[in-house]
Every structure is written in structure tokens, then in C-alpha cells.
Amino acid sequence: MNFDPQPIDIAESLKNWGIIFGVLLTLGLSIGFLLSAILNTKDGISRYFVGLGEGMQDTFGMSCRRIGAIVRLTVKESVRRKALLVFVVFAILFMFGGWFLSNVNERDELQLGVYVSFVLKAISWLVLPVALLLSCWSIPEDIRLRSLHTVVTKPVRRSEIVVGRVLGFSVIGSLIVGIMSGLGYIWILRQVPPTVGDKLIARVPVYGKLSFLDRQGLDAKSGVNTGDINEFRSYIEGASKARAIWRFEGLSDDALRTNPENQQPELLIENNFQAFRTHKGEINQVLNYQLTLVNDAKKLRVALPSFPVQEFGENLRWIPRELSYYDEEAQASKQVDLFDLVDEDGKLTMEIACVDAGQFLGMAQPDMFVRLPDRSFASTFFKSALGIWMMMALIIVLGVTASTFVKGPVATLLTFTLVLFGAPAHGFLNDLVSGKVKRGGLIESGIGILTHANPNVDSQAGGTGITKGVDRAMSGFVWGVSHLVPDFSQFRYTEYSARGFDVPMKSAILPGVFLLLGFLLPCFLLAYFSLKLRELEAK
């Protein structure tokens, strides 16, 4: 993995959501109150509270039957608008995709990822534009053709129209995603070369916390940078005291899996280290690493035999229950049970050393993990499809919401912009707020530009305490905005499936689910009140 999956902090997320939702709700209610009081001089205040009351009634008094009717209507309408023609494009893509994707010179295992990425990307590129266009154009079209006028005069609440539309499009979208995923899955199974068929799996990793010791054996923030621009991995020096130390938690008997060679339950470790040579050494031999299992409390150090590093490939290491090792203090060979090295609360420490003098081994936190029993490829593939579905659902929510207060083309443009720039903008705004961007404050950077100050050198040249204080206040606003722009990258699970990993619940699926749910209520309220206040007969 070239990225480090971070588990979601549910309490923190809920707190952030509460703050932003609370502020927006208060702002919305206050502005509504003021406008109502100013525009309707006589009974403005009472009409405001009546409106709020109706809103509550419309929200809590929704009828499933009426919503169901609108859902049916929406589905029929979508079919009539030829939304299902997307299957024709899908069929063409998949009939001929294999011609362009299969490369006889490519290593089979490298091709796996290409096939999986192709299928998932094709599904999202076909489904998302359809969802976007359907959701953005339906209500404005209803208003233009005055069919909505006919609906609202019936005993149908406007909240039901919003919910019905969202659910209706979600149904048609789910149908498309479901069928495409199923066909895509079968297509992958048929396309993948039989030699690597067994590599179509979902690995379930347990990641540990990584720390480093430098060449003197002292704690270090990271290893050595050997000149890579990408600092994701850092390196430890061979035949020195430099170590990479992983601390795993929550390990128990369940982590053991059957070693196919001896049919014994063993612990499977997978790693993917990178080699860096400062001298040629033995050209035809790869570098080696040594793994030592450590239990400081019991003063146990079990060094396992050294192991060759196969770069950019699958390095599997089976650790048996019964370990024999050489006790240097007692100067004798001993036996120890693997779980004697594991703490009571399931903690296990593993130290990695580079064996070859003058050479370096590079690693990052996700480069070594305990591999639990694999899951089927279907599980990771359909979880990725779930990610596409959630992305589609959020686009529908945003599209329907936008279409309640602007016309179709504008709503399309608005939603499209959010989708296209959501993820990069979110990343940039987050970097601004978290201080990753040096001198990120507006005034501070402005002063820096005018005075030609170098942000890496002149740390004090960016302004005084007052300007920094103003910048801090502004960054609070940026923080709020950054949370208003949905981060669509949260739904992208393709990388996991393409690399043969299971899509993790805590660091991938839950953040996606929370993101979707987080936008549901605010969007519903916005859409409902927009539709309620909108002049429906206007063209």
C-alpha cells in the first residue's frame, strides 16, 4: 500500500458535524426570521413561526405511501428518459475492453490491478454522470412543464417530493450499480489469467504502529531519507543499530491461519520493504532483513533467521507457534511459544533490521502487517462497488437539493463542480487549516509576498500577533468551509480492491457512511425550505 489508512474518530466527527450543522441551522433560522420580519411588516413574525410549524409537520408527517408513489414516478420517469441506455455503453466497453487492457508482455500479477481498476472506474464514470444529470434536471423540468404544480395541489407534502425524488433516483442508480458490478465481477473472473487466479483475494491486514531507532540505537522520528522525493518511506541502515519497530495490538489465536506447507496454525506476516544500495555488493543477491520478536516485560528477544527482500512483490513470512531461538545471555538454544511473546492485551513487538552492511531498507507503516485469514475477492470488489453507490447517492442528494433552488443547468454545474473539485479542494483546505501549508494565513502570506520573505527561512517575517490572530479567525471560517465541501475521495475504495486488500470498515467504509449521512439532514432541510419558498409557477 502506498498510503496509510487511518481509522475514523467517530466522536470527533460527530462533534465537528454538530458544530457546523448547529452554526448553519442557527444562521439559517436567524436570517429567515429577520427576512420574514422585514419583508412582512404586519404579521411577519407570526408567519415565520407558522412556517416553521408547517416545516415540522411536513418533516414528521411524511407518508410512506405517498413517498413510494413519487419513488415509482421517479423510476418510471428515469426509464422514460433513457437512463438505462447507459448499459449499452457499458456493454460496448466490456466487449472490447479486454482487447486494449491485456498486454502479453505485462506480468500477470501487474495486470490484475489494471482489470479491477478498469471495471470499477468504468462503473463510476458511467453511473455518476447519469445520477448527476437525472437528479439536477428532474425538479426544474417539473417546474418548467408545470407538472409539479399538479403534484403539489394534491395532498403531497413538499418534503415527500424531496425524499421521493432522492429515493427514486437512488433506486434506479442502485439498479444500475448492482447490475454493472455483477457483470463486472464476472468479467474480471473471466479475463484474469489462470496463472494468477489465486491472487484474486481480499487480504485482511492488521497494521501496527511504526517507530524507528537510529544507527546508534536511539529513538528517532523516522529513518534516513536516501534521496527519494516521496518521503512516505524512510530507510534503516544495514549492520547497524538502526531498527524499524512495529507494535501490533489486539492479536489473539484468531490471527493464526493454516500454513499450507505444514497444515499448522501459524502467524502470517506480509511485508513490502524497499532496498537501497550504497554499493553494488553481490549483484545477483537481494538484500536481507532480520525479524526479531520482542517482549520487553519478559526480556525475551527471539531473532528469526534472515529473509530476502523481494521488492514490490508479495513477501510472506510464516511464524510458527513453537519458536526456537538462541538465548545470548544463557548461551543456549531455547523454545518459546509465540503467544508467550504477546502481552495480555494482545500486544506484540517486531523489530526489523537490515542485515547487509552499507545497504539500506526502506519502509512505511503499512509496509508490514499481520495477515488475517483472507476474504473472498467478491467481498472487496462489492465493497468498492458500495463506495461507488454511496458516491452516487451523495451526488443525487446534492443534485436534488441544488435543483430545488436553481434551474437545471446551474444545478448541474454546481453539483459537477462539487464532485470534480470536492476532493482536491478538501485536501488543500485541510492542509491550510492544519498548518501543513507554511504561512497559510491570508494576511500573513500577503505580507510575506510583499516583503519577499521566504516561508522556510524567515519564520517571523509574516506579520505580528494581530495579523496572525486575524488569520486564525479566518482559518476557522476556512475550517467550516472545508467541511461543507464533501470529500468524495472518501468513497474511492478501488485502490484497495486493485491491490488485493479488503476494504477496511473503520478507515474506509465508516468514513464514507458518515459522510453520506452527514449531508442527508442538512440537504433535506435546505431542499425542503427552498422548495417551500419557491414560486413553482415561475419558468
Partner 1 sequence: MNNLSSKQRKLLYFVVIVVLTAPIIYLGAPSAGEGRSTGGKLAQIRIQEELGESTLGQVDPASSTMNLVLLGMRGIASSMLWSQAQTQQENKDWAGLRATTESIIMLQPHFLAVWEYQGWNLAYNVSAEWDDVRDRYYWVKEGLKFFMRGTERNRKYPELVWRVGNVSGAKVGRSDEWRYFRQYFRKDPDAARYNDGPDPAINPNNLDNYLVSKEWFQRANDLEEQPGIEQHLMQKMLFRTYPSRAQFDYADVLHRENRITEESRIAWDEAYEMWTTKFGREIFDSPGGQIILEFTEEDLKMLMERENNKFPLDVKRKWTSSYQDRCQYRYWRTLAAAESLEITRDAHRRINDGKELFWESRYVQSEKDRADGKGPETWGALEHLEDGMRKFEQVLNDFPTLASEDDAIEESLMALVYWREIFKLRKQPIPDDYPLRSMWEKHQDRVPEMELNFRRDIPISNRD
Residues that bind partner 1 (CB under 8 A): 2, 100, 105-107, 110, 113-114, 228-230, 232, 274-275, 277, 280-284, 286-287, 309-312
Single-letter amino acid, residue 418: L
* Helix, strand, coil in percent for the chain, rounding step 5: 55, 15, 25
- For residue 306, the 8-state DSSP code is P
* Whether the Cβ atoms of residue 246 and residue 349 lie closer than 8 Å to each other: yes
Minimum CB separation from partner 1 for residue 195, in Å? 9
Q: Name which of 308 and 373 has its Cβ closer to partner 1.
A: 308
* Whether the Cβ atoms of residue 485 and residue 425 lie closer than 8 Å to each other: yes
Minimum CB separation from partner 1 for residue 467, in Å? 35
Q: Give a three-class secondary structure readout of 339-394.
A: HHCCCCCCCEEEEEEECCCCEEEEECHHHEEEEEEEEEHHHHHHHHHHHHHHHHHH
Q: Name which of 221 and 280 has its Cβ closer to partner 1.
A: 280
Q: Name which of 77 and 237 has its Cβ closer to partner 1.
A: 237
Minimum CB separation from partner 1 for residue 289, in Å? 12
* Whether the Cβ atoms of residue 135 and residue 399 lie closer than 8 Å to each other: yes
Q: Name which of 101 and 481 has its Cβ closer to partner 1.
A: 101
Q: Name which of 1 and 370 has its Cβ closer to partner 1.
A: 1
Distance CA 284, CA 490 (A): 43
Minimum CB separation from partner 1 for residue 277, in Å? 7
- For residue 301, the 8-state DSSP code is E
Distance CA 209, CA 327 (A): 27
Q: Name which of 30 and 195 has its Cβ closer to partner 1.
A: 195
Minimum CB separation from partner 1 for residue 132, in Å? 21
Residue 520: CB atoms within 10 A of its CB come to 14
Minimum CB separation from partner 1 for residue 10, in Å? 31
SS3 state of residue 191:
helix
Minimum CB separation from partner 1 for residue 236, in Å? 15
Minimum CB separation from partner 1 for residue 312, in Å? 7
Residue tagged 500477470 (cell numbers):
108
Q: Name which of 43 and 108 has its Cβ closer to partner 1.
A: 108
Q: Name which of 1 and 167 has its Cβ closer to partner 1.
A: 1
Q: Name which of 147 and 195 has its Cβ closer to partner 1.
A: 195
Distance CA 306, CA 288 (A): 6
Minimum CB separation from partner 1 for residue 283, in Å? 5
Residues making up the chain, counted from first to last: 539
Distance CA 187, CA 501 (A): 19
Residues with Cβ within 8 Å of 300's Cβ and at least 6 positions away in sequence, in order, are 293, 294, 336, 340, 341
